[in-house]
Every structure is written in C-alpha cells, then in structure tokens.
Structure 1
Amino acid sequence: MATSVPFTPLIIDGQERPSANSKTFEVYTPQSGQLVGTAAAATSQDCRDAIEAAARAQKSWEKTRPVERRDIFLKAADILSSEPWMKLMQEANTQEVAFAPAWSVLDSTIPSSYIRVQAGLVDQLKGQVYPSVHLPGIQVHVQPRAKGVLLAIAPWNAPGALTIRAIAIPIFCGNAVVLKGSELSPRMHYLITKAFHEAGLPKGVLNCISVAQSDTPSLVSEIIAHPLIRHVNFTGSDRVGRIVAMEAAKHLKPCVLELGGKAPTVVLQDADLNEAAKAIVDSALLNSGQVCMSTERVIAHKSIAEKLIAIIRNIVSGLKAGDLTTDPSAKLGPLFSTASADRLVGILKDAKESGAEVILGDLANNKSIVQPHLIKDVKPGMKIWDEESFGPVIVFATFATVDEAIELANASSFSLTSSVWSADVMLAQEIAYQIRYSAVNINGPTIHSEPSDGLIGLSGSSGYGRFDVANFTDKRTMMIHPKGRTYALA
C-alpha cells in the first residue's frame, strides 16, 4: 500500500481547493528522493480566479484602518509563533527542502518577528497637507495609497521568512496579493497564508497558488500580463530575475527584485581573527551556503591571511555534509537538487584549472551532497569569483592596501550584503562607505539585515527596489481649489 503524504491545496478567495483540473505535482526531499507531498498544480483559470478575487477584496481592504490591519498582523504573529505552528513549519522545511535543524528553526522563527515589525508601519502610512506654492488658497493633500493587486513570488531557500517579506508590507499598505511560492516548498507558503486567514485576514486579500515547474514560465508571464496586476516582487536567482523583469517591462509594470549575492568579507590585519573566522564559517555554510547573504568571498590582508585560513580550516574540517535524516554525524544538509550540485562542482573544478588552490574539499558530489570547500588564490574573472555558487564554499583573496581591498570587494556585479572586520571601527566605517553594498556589517556576519530596512541590491545581479512602504504604495496628490480663482481663457 502506498504511503500517504500531505496534500497542499490552493487558497483562492479564502477557500482551500484543488486546481481547476485536479492536476497535482509531487514534492521530493533532496538527496533521498523520498516523496514527501503532493500539491495542487494551478491552471490558467486558477490564476485568473486568484487575481479577480484579490481585485474584489482589495477595494474594501484598502478602506480598513491601519490599526485594524495591525491587529490582524499581531494575531497572525501569535499563531505562527505558537508551538503547534512552529512544529508544522519545521516539519515542512525538514521534509520539503531538507534543512538542517538550525536553519529550519531560524526560518520558522523569523516569520512572527517580521510580522510584528511590519505591524509597526502604521505611522508610515500618514500623508502630508501643505499650501500650494503656485496659487494662494489651494490646499495640497499627498497620501501614500495602495497600488491594487500585486504578484509576489517567494523562493524555497527560506520559505518562511521570505514569504513574509514578499507579502507583509504589500498587504499592510492596503494591497491584495497573489502569492506564487516555489514548487519545492509549497507546504510552507500554504501554512503562512493559512495563518493569516486564521488571524482574520479577509478572504481574497491573500491568495496562494502553487504551480508545477513545467507550467511556471507560461503562467507567471500570464499573471504579470493581466491588467489587474499592478506590481511584481520576486526573490530568487539573478537569471530568473532578469526574465521576470523583462516580462514586467513589456507592460511597464514596476518590480522589486531581490536576487543573488556574492557577499565579500574584508578582514584587516588588526581584526579579531577568531571572531571573524566564526562569523565567516557561519555565514558561508548556513543552509549549506544556499542563502543570498552567504559569505562567498573572503578578502584578507596578506599579513594575516594564512592564519585566518588555518583557523577557518580547523572549524570547517569538523563539518560534514550528508543526508540529515540518515546520517547523525552530518551537520550540513544537501543542496536543493543534483543539478545544483553538478553545477557547483563544475565551478570548483574550473577554479582549480584557472590556478586557484583547493585547501579543503574533494571536488565531487554524491547526488545533491557537496562537502565544504575552501579555495584560495581566487581572482576576478574566475567563475567562482563572478558567479553565485549557492553552495558550501569559502574562497580567499588577499590585499596589501585598503584601496586594493575596496577594489576587490567591488569587483562584482552583486551588491547585496558585506562585512568589514577591524579593531579600528572608524577605518571600517570609511571602508564600508566605499564598498557598494546595500548592507555592510562591521565586525559581524554577512547574514544579517534589518527587516525594517528592506534589504535589497543596488542594481545589477542583486536586483533593485526595497521591501518598504514607498515601493508598495503610490504617492497620490489631491489639490482642493478655492472658489473664485481666475482663468486665462474664461
């Protein structure tokens, strides 16, 4: 008898339902290939239903008071932080995308804290009133108003945290959302949506659809083209981000795109090397390096580079990647697919052939499992320097002067996060202002950003826009004219 697995439905207009043609797709855990769930595969009709439900709901949702929205958000945060929901989310993360326990717990904890932060946006929805600078008596009112119906596309690598980021501020601003999650983690996207409905979010304000991988390109294109869709936000790879941006550009629709990262860590000669090493390893290997903020390039002063590498090697040597469900000695989980692992190994081999030295690692993969690798003498122009690896890899380059360190940090098309390590905080700040990254952590890990800041890239391969009120509202101006003004022709 076949083992039953969870079924993840669509949520459209507040109702859980199968797809219009009852089509489903299967979800398998990485490495073992075990079937862990099935999900409704949305059709074109389902997508239209979700958009139309959102459009109906948005008209009344925009009229609600921000404090009413705040109360719903706080209740949703309480639900998601409750023990039963935490267990459900952690089970989904462990089964669907094989997260290691630390990352699974973190991704299940962040949603409630993010929601509470977004619930504090009430004051940012205020407008302005001022007298006209052109004619006396005209009163000008400027208000941030909701855009309407938005498409939000969330990824698999932190499906709890990044689903909240994709939907929370848009909804709080009075918009309605069609959420398309990853086909690799449909259950987590569904759980987040369900929690909001249990908290009292009106039906139709948030609709969750899952799409089979083969249908994704055509259906996403169709959703973006729909005249009721006013805005798109996408978190994922720079390759897919370019496709989404081009589809949106066809219809002149704005986007917020949070794409890849190639975070540099600059380590000066006076840095606390033990602390820097711990932060580097943590940021580079959390979730097996499958984080957009992962430390991917360590740029160390020549005088301390070998000592830093030795400390890092000592830590990493004790970290093994494996199937977390069967190997109790494994600290790191598999990559999300065998194809991803194959690509990573190709990049590692290219680095060695291009003159880099492999300090640790076997340049191999076992299906989707890749062991941690340390590579030194890496330079701009190598694939491992220029492309996001999205795997358990730390690469090293050295510098002699601060100007050289800044040049190396900026030698990338990515611009998401970074860090600088130095006992001289003033010098670290000076460097931080000269490296072109959205977020710079001084004496801290690259995997850190503030939810209220709306982390995003500064263009290029890391994307653009911010997850903030300004990007999910339109500034609208209303001018009240007094009686009796004169006109040129009447």
Structure 2
Amino acid sequence: MSTEVARRIPLIIGGKENTTRAQVAVNSHTFPEESIHTFTSFDINDTKLYRELFDSANKGFEEWSATPYNEKIKVFQKAVVLLKERKDEFFKSHHEIGGPSWFAGFNVDGTVDQLEEYISQMSNPTGVLPQSLESKLAITIKQPIGPVLAIAPWNAPILLAARSIAAPLAAGCSVIHKSSEKSPLASYLFVKCLHDAGLPKDALQLVHVAPQDNPQFLNEVLSSGTIKKLNFTGSTAVGTKIATVAANYLIPYLLELGGKNFSIVRKDADLDKAVGNIVWSSWSHKGQICMSTDKVYIHEDIYDEFKERLQKVAPEVAKDPDYSICQRDPVFTKKIIELVEDAVSKGANILYGNIDKEKVLKTNSVPPLILEDVNEDSILNNTESFGPLFSIHKYNDEAQLIKDLNVNSYGLKATIWSQNILEAIDIAKNIETGAVHINSSSVHDEVTIPHGGVKGSGQGRFNSSWGLDEFNIIKTITLN
C-alpha cells in the first residue's frame, strides 16, 4: 500500500481512485485529537458524481451477473490468496480502532471463511421444477436482484465490510459499498483485494461519506432507482432510520442490528463452564460486539454459588488488557457512564469494577463492570450498552421469565446453560431471538450457519445459502 493511500483513502468509482475531493480526518483511537489519515468524502451535491456512481453500478451488474459461475469462483479464490498475503495490512487497519490482535485475526480469518463458503455455494443449482396442474412445465429460477447498497460498521471493520460485499457479489449483484467513517481503511483494502483478484471494476464501488452527509446521501442513492436492495449492519437506532427511507422507495433490506443479549443459567448448569464463558462473552472486544452478553438470569437455587464463582473469575479475566474499552468517539464512553449512573441511582449495585467518571472521561477508557439489582425502570435494563458490562438477575419461574424476555424489543442472541439438553432445546424454541446457543457463547457467528435477528435486532440472514438467497429473486417460468 502506497504512502499516499495510507494518508488519503480514496473513493473508487468505475475502478478509478479519487482523492481530489474534500478530506475528512480519521483520528487515532489512542490519541483522539491526532489524525492517522483522511478519507475522501463523497460530494453529496455533485450530480455528475452520482451519475458516474449509478452508471458504473448498472454497468457492473450487467457484466458481473452475466459472468459464468466458474469465473466468479476464480475471482473469489484469487481474493482469498490476496487476503492471506496482505494480512498484515488488514491487521494494522484493525489495530487503528483499538481492536486486539486476536480479534483482528478473527476478522481476517472470518473473511477468508466467508469467501470460501460462498465459493462452495456458487455452483449449486439455481432453480427447481415445481408441480403444476395448469402448465406442461413450470420452472423457478434464482436471479440476482440488481445493484446493492452495502453499509458496514467500524467495530469489526474487516469482517463486516467483507460480509456486506461478498454476499451480494456471490449472488451476482453489483455493489456500492459505503464504509464507516471510523474504519474506511479496512473497506478500501478489501475492495482492492477484489479488484486485484479480477472482479470487474464497475461491479464494486467504494464511497466514504462525511457523517453529517449520510442522510442526504442515502436518500439520493435510494431515490435514484438504481439500488434494488440494501444491507446494513449497525445500531437499531440508525437501522430504523435507514429502513424508513428504504420503505419510502419500496426498497427491500437486510438489517443486522443491535442486541440486548441474555443468558439463562438453569439450576442444573455446569457452573465451571458457564461463569467464565459468560464473562468472556460480555467483555470480549470490550463489549463492542452486537452479540455480547448483556444480562444473565440465574436460577435462585444456584444464584449465590454463581455469584461467588463470578467474583473469583472476573478479576482473572479483567487482567487482560483487551478488556478496557478505548474509543475514538467519546459519545460511546459518555453513554456507558450515563447508563451506569442511572442504574445505580435507581438501586443497582456494582458487583465488580468501579467507574471513576472524571478518570473515564479524561482517558476515554471504561473498565469492565458487573452490576446487580438493576431496576426494571433503569435505562440500562432495556438498552444495549455496547461496552464491557453486564448485569445479573435472579429468577425462579422459567416459563414467566421467557414471557418477560420475549417482551423485549431486541431479538438477536440468547444462551442457555443446562445439562438437560432436551429441555434446553424446548426452551430455545420459545425464545424470540434469531439464535439460541446452548452451553456456549452468545458471541457465535460462523459462515455455515445463518446469522441475524428478529424484532429490533433486524431481519434477514447473512452467511452461506441464506446470505445468497437474500440477494436473489425467484422467477417463475411456465411452458405450454
């Protein structure tokens, strides 16, 4: 990667890199006032630039959708090779946002897995022959839906950008990818991998947008008639706004949004396994994962024992430097302080950790926390913290607990800890979430398993055949 690119991250439209437009600073996670590089901002008032973007997306769709599946596979295979060769560059892009090395590795390896899984799917049959009483022959075929707008967040910048791009490309769509203003380098590196692997230049565009320009950009792009579907990964609040704009133009969407993920620890649970796993599932990557565990419900018969084990395990886990949160955007830090202060003012007790407001605001670093006795009226009770904290709660009526949990507006992940697997499966069926993991972490996303939520946690599914189907339409053809 050239020094110029490292300093000024370009737009890529029609295969051409552009750094001549306004530059927006991307600041260091360690020293928030220091700029590590800039990104070239899309001019939201430039009608010619929009036309170039849309013309390229339409041209790219025509070319890429008509490309034989075996040629598509070759592009993805070459991209895998380039990803592995450029692993150090991707690591650096992840470290810039404060990501630990293990999570950077998870991002790169996960991206390789994504591409390899789609490679295995692209040669599958694209249609079936349903029975018909009125036709001699009926055929249904899958066809790519058209140009896709893909928007990814910063917290897992390599994997989530790659996922948003790879799924529609594997289906045969062209993609306009809008990076996160906090992690544009990761998106640039992945787009370059695909272009260098032989992807038609018009099949994938890269745009960066200044934060204040996002609403107008989204409206202009969706109102153009070019985009046939969008996918967005991020907060429920932003996802709701995006869905509202998309609905105005009848554009379908795949949304992978936030979660208020919970764990149920039954009285027959293996506590040796449960306690450490739950702490890791909450504090891992500083709580900056949509799948992080937020709330833990423990049966009253084992509550005291769980709590005792928790107080022994938590200090050991907290020794790892990965568990102090460090953000470039102080808004996240202030939000966590507000959530904790509100909970404490309404009767909550900080079971582990302490939060020195002055120190936290000065260092922009939040220590890992565990709360107890969080009141139902607390904002934290129904708000995703996106930080290294979780609360523990006591229950005795399992059926009532499930009813209460299903009222929650989120529905991404749940876990159940129990040695009675059959009963745990029955409970899992009644929980309103996109996934339930029995005796394992809520942080669970693998390429062969569908991933996504329900209710306020989104709709649609990424990964494997489910990810491909999101960007296909089903066309029926009958013959007489």
- TM-score with structure 1 setting the length: 0.90
Aligned counterpart, 2:275 = 277
Q: Does 1:476 align with 2:472?
A: no
**Residue type at the aligned position of 2:84:** S
Q: Is the 8 A contact 1:422 1:428 kept in 2?
A: yes
Maintained 8 Å contact 2:8/2:19: no
How far has the Cα of 1:306 moved from its partner?
A: 2.6
After superposing the two structures, state which structure 1 stretch, 411-420 or 184-193, moved more: 411-420
Q: Does 1:417 align with 2:418?
A: no
Q: Is the 8 A contact 1:299 1:408 kept in 2?
A: no
| Aligned residue number for residue 403 of structure 2 | 407
- Alignment of 1:23 with 2:22, yes or no, is yes
Q: Deviations over 1:134-184 (max 9, x none)?
A: 24x3x2221111111110000101111111211112111110000001000
Q: Which residue of 1 aligns with 2:103?
A: 103
Q: Indicate the residue corresponding to 1:466 in structure 2.
A: 461
User: Is residue 54–residue 149 contact of structure 1 (8 Å, CA) maintained in 2?
Assistant: yes
Distance 1:279 1:47 in 2: 48
After superposition, what is the alpha-carbon deviation per residue over 1:92-116, rounded to whole angstroms, capped at 9, x for unaligned? 1111x11122222222221111111
- 1:252 counterpart SS class: coil
User: What is the distance in 1 between the residues matched to 2:375 and 2:424?
Assistant: 23
Structure 2 partner of 1:92? 93
C-alpha contact (below 8 Å) 1:100/1:332 kept by paired residues: no
| Alignment deviations for residues 275-310 of structure 1 (CA, whole Å, 9 cap, x no partner) | 111211111111110110000111111122232233
Map of 1:486 onto structure 2: none
Provide the identity percentage.
29
Q: Deviations over 1:340-375 (max 9, x none)?
A: 110111011111112221112333323421111110
Secondary structure of the 1:378 match is coil
Q: SS in structure 2 opposite 1:384? A: helix
* Aligned CA distance change for structure 1 residues 271 and 250 (closer, same or farther; 3 Å): same
- 1:23-102 to 2 correspondence within 5 Å? 23-33=22-32, 34-44=34-44, 45=46, 46-82=49-85, 85-95=86-96, 97-102=97-102
Match of 1:241 in 2: 239
Change (3 A) 1:130 1:464: closer
1:256 maps to a residue whose letter is: L
Partner of 1:485: none
| Contact 2:325–2:367, Cα closer than 8 Å, also in 1 | no
| More displaced stretch, 384-393 vs 104-113 | 104-113
The residue matched to 2:410 in structure 1 has which SS?
A: coil
Change (3 A) 1:386 1:329: closer
For residues 187-266 of structure 1, the aligned pairs below 5 Å read: 187-266=185-264
Q: Does 1:304 align with 2:302?
A: yes
In structure 2, how many angstroms separate the alpha carbons of the residues matched to 1:399 and 1:67?
A: 55
Q: Give distance in 1, aligned partners of 2:312 and 2:55.
A: 56
Per-residue CA deviation, residues 234-266 of structure 1 (Å, 9 max, x unaligned), is 110011001100100110110111110111111
- CA contact under 8 A between 2:171 and 2:468: conserved in structure 1? yes
SS of the residue corresponding to residue 204 of structure 1 reads helix
More deviation in 461-470 or 238-247? 461-470
Match of 1:376 in 2: 372
- Residues 6 and 125 of structure 1: CA distance in aligned 2, closer, same or farther (over 3 Å): farther
- SS state of the match for residue 164, structure 1? helix
SS in 1 for 2:430: coil
Q: CA deviation at 1:417?
A: 1.1
Structure 2: which amino acid aligns with 1:89? Answer: F
Partner of residue 428, structure 1? 424
CA gap of 1:411–1:308, structure 2 versus 1, over 3 A, is farther
* Total equivalences in the alignment: 465
Q: 1:171 to 1:157 in 2, by over 3 A?
A: same
| Structure 2 CA distance for partners of 1:174 and 1:184, relative to 1, 3 Å | same
- Structure 2: 5+ residue stretches without partners: none
Please tell me whether the aligned partners of residues 175 and 205 of structure 2 are also in contact (alpha carbons under 8 angstroms): yes
Amino acid paired to 2:295: R
Name the aligned partner's letter for residue 86 of structure 1: K
Q: Which residue of 1 aligns with 2:112?
A: 112
Distance 1:129 1:441, change over 3 A: same
Partner of 1:324: none
1:385 to 381, 386, 391: 381
Secondary structure (helix, strand or coil) at the match of 2:25 reads strand
Secondary structure at the aligned position of 2:212 is classed as helix
Seen in structure 2, the aligned counterparts of structure 1 residues 144 and 115 have a Cα distance that, compared at 3 Å, is same
Q: What's 2:161 paired with?
A: 163
Which amino acid is the alignment partner of residue 102 of structure 1?
W
Unaligned ranges ≥5, structure 1: 322-327, 482-490
Matched to 1:465, the amino acid is G
Task: Output the aligned Cα RMSD.
Answer: 2.0
Q: What is the identity, as a one-letter code, of the residue corresponding to 1:15?
A: K
Q: Aligned partners of 1:43 and 1:452: how far apart in 2? A: 39
- For the 8 Å contact 1:319–1:330, the answer to whether it is kept is no
* Structure 2 residue identity aligned to 1:134: E
Pairwise CA distance, 1:90? 0.9
CA contact (8 A) 1:335 1:370 kept: no
Deviations 1:417-441 (A, max 9, x none): 1110011111111111111111111
- Could you tell which deviates more after superposition, 245-254 or 401-410? 401-410
Q: Please state whether the residue corresponding to 1:140 is helix, strand or coil.
A: strand
Segments of 4+ in structure 1 off by > 6 A? Answer: none
Residue 198 to residue 279, structure 1, CA distance change in 2 (3 Å) = same
* CA contact 1:142–1:475 (8 Å) conserved in 2: yes
